[in-house]
Structure 1
Amino acid sequence: MSNIRLIISDIDGTILTSHHQVDEQLIKVMPDLEKAKIPFVLASARSPLGMQPIAHKLGLHENPITCYNGALVLEGNRTIIEHPVDKTEIQELLRYLSTDYPSVSVNIYSGKDWITNQLDKWSQLEAGITGESPILKELQETVSDSEPPVHKLLLIDKPEVIQDLHQKLLSMDFPQTAFYLSKDNYLEVTAKHVSKEHALLEVAKYYDIPLEQVMTIGDNFNDSPMLALSGLGIAMGNAPEGVKETANLVTASNDDHGVAQAITEHVLN
Structure 2
Amino acid sequence: MSKYKLLALDMDGTVLDDDHNISSETVAAIQDARAAGVTVMFSTGRALQNAMSYIEQLQLDAPVVTVNGSEVWRNPHELHVRHLLERDAMKKMVQLSETYDSWFWAYSTERLYNRENWNADIDSEQWLKFGYFTEDEQKLQHILTELRAMGGLELTNSSLQNIEINPRGISKASGIRSVCELLGLDMSQVVAVGDSLNDLAVIQQAGLGVAMGNAQDEVKEAADVVVSTNNEHGVAQVIRQHILT
- TM-score w.r.t. length of structure 1: 0.77
CA distance in 2 between counterparts of 1:29 and 1:268 reads: 9
CA distance in 2 between counterparts of 1:76 and 1:25 reads: 24
Corresponding residue to 1:227 among 203, 213, 223: 203
Deviation at 1:2, TM superposition (A): 1.4
Alignment partner, residue 138 of structure 1: 119
Consecutive unaligned residues in structure 1, runs of 5 or more: 120-135
Alignment partner, residue 125 of structure 1: none
Consecutive unaligned residues in structure 2, runs of 5 or more: none
Alignment partner, residue 143 of structure 2: 165
The answer as to whether partners of 1:163 and 1:184 remain within 8 angstroms in 2 is no
Larger radius of gyration, structure 1 or 2?
1
Alignment partner, residue 79 of structure 1: 79
Q: How does 1:252-267 map to 2 (within 5 A)?
A: 252-267=228-243
Alignment partner, residue 126 of structure 1: none
What residue identity is the alignment partner of 2:182? Y
Q: How does 1:192-207 map to 2 (within 5 A)?
A: 192-207=168-183
The answer as to whether partners of 1:69 and 1:194 remain within 8 angstroms in 2 is yes
Q: How does 1:1-269 map to 2 (within 5 A)?
A: 1-60=1-60, 62-74=61-73, 75-94=75-94, 96-97=95-96, 101=99, 103-116=101-114, 119=116, 136=117, 138-139=119-120, 141=121, 143-144=122-123, 147-156=124-133, 159=136, 160-171=138-149, 174-183=150-159, 185-269=161-245
Q: Secondary structure of the residue that 2:7 maps to in structure 1? A: strand
May I ask how many residue pairs the two structures share in their alignment? 243
CA distance in 2 between counterparts of 1:185 and 1:254 reads: 19
Q: Which consecutive aligned stretches of 4+ in structure 1 deviate over 6 angstroms post-superposition?
A: none
The answer as to whether partners of 2:157 and 2:164 remain within 8 angstroms in 1 is yes
- CA RMSD, 1 decimal: 2.7
Residue by residue over 1:7-31, the C-alpha shift from the partner in whole angstroms, topping out at 9 and shown as x without a partner, is: 1111122212233321211211333
The answer as to whether partners of 2:213 and 2:229 remain within 8 angstroms in 1 is yes
The verdict on how the C-alpha distance between 1:105 and 1:225 changes in structure 2, with shifts beyond 3 A counting, is: closer
CA distance in 1 between counterparts of 2:220 and 2:182 reads: 28
Residue by residue over 1:227-260, the C-alpha shift from the partner in whole angstroms, topping out at 9 and shown as x without a partner, is: 2211122222333554333222233332332211
CA distance in 2 between counterparts of 1:197 and 1:207 reads: 15
The verdict on how the C-alpha distance between 1:154 and 1:93 changes in structure 2, with shifts beyond 3 A counting, is: closer
Residue by residue over 1:39-82, the C-alpha shift from the partner in whole angstroms, topping out at 9 and shown as x without a partner, is: 1111121222321122222221x222211111112322322122
The verdict on how the C-alpha distance between 1:213 and 1:90 changes in structure 2, with shifts beyond 3 A counting, is: same
CA distance in 1 between counterparts of 2:54 and 2:76 reads: 13
Deviation at 1:114, TM superposition (A): 1.0
What residue identity is the alignment partner of 1:155? Y
Percent of aligned pairs sharing the same letter:
24
Deviation at 1:150, TM superposition (A): 0.8
CA distance in 1 between counterparts of 2:220 and 2:169 reads: 24
What residue identity is the alignment partner of 1:211? M
Deviation at 1:101, TM superposition (A): 1.5
CA distance in 2 between counterparts of 1:92 and 1:222 reads: 22
CA distance in 2 between counterparts of 1:226 and 1:206 reads: 17
